[in-house]
Amino acid sequence: MHWASLTDFAEMGGHALYVWGAYLVLFGALAWELVLLLHRRRRALDDARQHALLFGPDPDSAQNVPNR
């Protein structure tokens, strides 16, 4: 362990702004990408479902349902 106390760790030898600023932006950027990824999948799935509803059902189901 390099640090004597938790305050020491937080202060980063007077460079707290830079060190934590770097790590905070890193994790902020990752979180932002995660949100974008999930949002895009949600939209793509909804779109694909809508398309399947509008332009006919799944081709396999036509064979599975008799008298159609």
Partner 1 sequence: MAVRACRLLSQGLQSPLLLRAVNTATTASPQVSRDRRREVDGASLQSLFALAGGVIPWFAVAAALFAAASMTVGLVFAPTDVQQGEARRIVFVHLPAAWISLLIFFAMALCAVLGLLLGRRMASMLATALAPTGALMGFVALWTGAMWARPVLGSWWGQSGLAFELLLLLLLYFAFIAQQAAATEDPRRADRNGALIVLAGAVNLPIFHFALQWWSTFEQGQLDGLMRLTVSAGSLDLACVLLMVLAACAYSVAAALHRFRSIVLEREKASDWVRHQVGAA
Please report, for residues 24, 32, 39, 50, the alpha-carbon distance to residue 44 in angstroms, rounded to integers and kept in the order given: 30, 18, 9, 10
Please report whether residue 26 would count as binding partner 1 according to CB under 8 A: yes
> Smallest Cα–Cα separation from 38: which of 27, 26, 30?
30
Amino acid, res. 51: H
Q: Total binding residues for partner 1 by CB under 8 A? A: 37
10 contributes a contact to partner 1 by CB under 8 A: no
Contact residues: partner 1, CB under 8 A = 1-3, 9, 12-15, 18-19, 21-23, 25-26, 29-30, 32-33, 36-37, 40-41, 43-45, 47-49, 51-52, 55, 57-61
